[in-house]
Chains A and B, each alone.
Chain A
Amino acid sequence: MESISTDRYYINLILSGNKEAFSSIVERHKDNVYNLALKICGNREDAEEVAQDSFVKAFRALSSFKGKSSFATWLYRIVYNTSMTFVRKNKLDILRLEEFPVDCVDFIRSNAMEEEAEIEYMKILLSYAMQKLDHEDRAIVTMHYYQDLSYSEICSITGLSRSNIKVRLFRTRKKMQEIIEKNMIKELKYEKV
């Protein structure tokens, strides 16, 4: 609740002419915006460009924000649409690699399962599993797991029905789990996490 009223406070400041107040909005939401764009686009350069474009679009449309949903939901809808348009326009494809990069397995083994190396390995494996999904599913996974959004918020952002999102999440989770299990080295077990 505090977050929503704080957003509203900054929005009112901006709309009354204080353009600098937008930097507070950027600071508050930049990580989530960047992560959503990153998961959909699949690479950091494009994600940064899309995240910046999304903030500029949000700024331009700020006077049309009526507060029917939270500001974050409204902003994520802009990020989602901008990202999807970007990947379609630039024909960014989903990952076609059949095998998980061997380098990563070598890396983790050579580092004797040190915690940092382990986390890095898990990140790469997660990212690999994510990139095997289509862009829309990546967005849903990110909003559900990373940003902890409710089903109704995800519906509002993507325009998909609640049942569709549930089915997609179920299938996606299964698919990612299969990819992870298939590529996970023996030393790393579920119990570790």
Chain B
Amino acid sequence: MKKSDVDIIKQWIEYTGAESAPEGFSKKVMSRIELEKAYLYANPINKRFVLGTVLVFTTLIILALTLPSAREYYWINIVIGKLSGLFSEIPDSFSIPGIMIFARYIFYVSGGIIVFVLMDRFLSKFLVPQKG
């Protein structure tokens, strides 16, 4: 074997060997691991979550831009119309001033609350650490 063919570094490394980790290394690492709780069981924000969020917002924006203004609140008006029918049957003695405006606000507010609750459940599924 020619001297140039000999990989002296490889030979030396094989001959001298590698160092072992210091005494008590594993114990030190595990004591640090003991302090770690949240990281392991938290699902990282994944592509599905990002894609879902983008889809929801894109859909809402597209709907807002493309729905004809004549149809604005079309289905909401149907519901409110039905509610008005109910309220019109209530005797005058039971009527409250501005009840229709109040009913309309209840509709929007409860809708908003439902959207926020759903969003909260959706986000917590991805972000809150799961036990055990």
List A residues at the B interface (Cβ < 8 Å). Answer: 14-15, 17, 19-20, 22-23, 26-27, 30-31, 33-35, 38, 44, 48, 51-52, 55-56, 59-64, 119, 122-123, 125-126, 141, 145-146, 173, 176-177, 180, 190, 193
- In the assembled complex, which residues on chain A have CB atoms less than 8 Å from the CB atom of B44? 63-64
Q: Is the CB of B33 within 8 A of A22?
A: yes
Partner of A60, one of B22, B39, B132: B39
Q: A26-B29, A33-B21 are in contact. Are A145 and B40 (CB under 8 A)?
A: no
Q: Is the CB of B20 within 8 A of A34?
A: yes
7 pairs, CB–CB < 8 Å, chain A vs chain B? A30-B26, A52-B25, A60-B40, A126-B9, A126-B12, A146-B18, A190-B6
- In the assembled complex, which residues on chain A have CB atoms less than 8 Å from the CB atom of B39? 59-61
Partner of B41, one of A17, A23, A34: A17
Q: Is the CB of A56 within 8 A of B29?
A: yes
List B residues at the A interface (Cβ < 8 Å). Answer: 3, 6-13, 15-16, 18-22, 25-26, 28-30, 32-34, 36, 39-44, 132
Q: Is the CB of B21 within 8 A of A180?
A: no
Whose C-beta in chain A lies nearest to the C-beta of B25?
A30
Partner of A35, one of B18, B28, B132: B18
Partner of A27, one of B11, B18, B26: B26
Whose C-beta in chain B lies nearest to the C-beta of A169?
B9
- In the assembled complex, which residues on chain A have CB atoms less than 8 Å from the CB atom of B33? 19, 22, 55-56, 59
The 10 A-B residue pairs whose C-beta atoms are closest, nearest first, are A60-B39, A34-B21, A30-B21, A123-B16, A193-B11, A17-B132, A145-B13, A193-B15, A55-B29, A26-B26
Whose C-beta in chain A lies nearest to the C-beta of B7?
A173
Q: Is the CB of B8 within 8 A of A63?
A: no
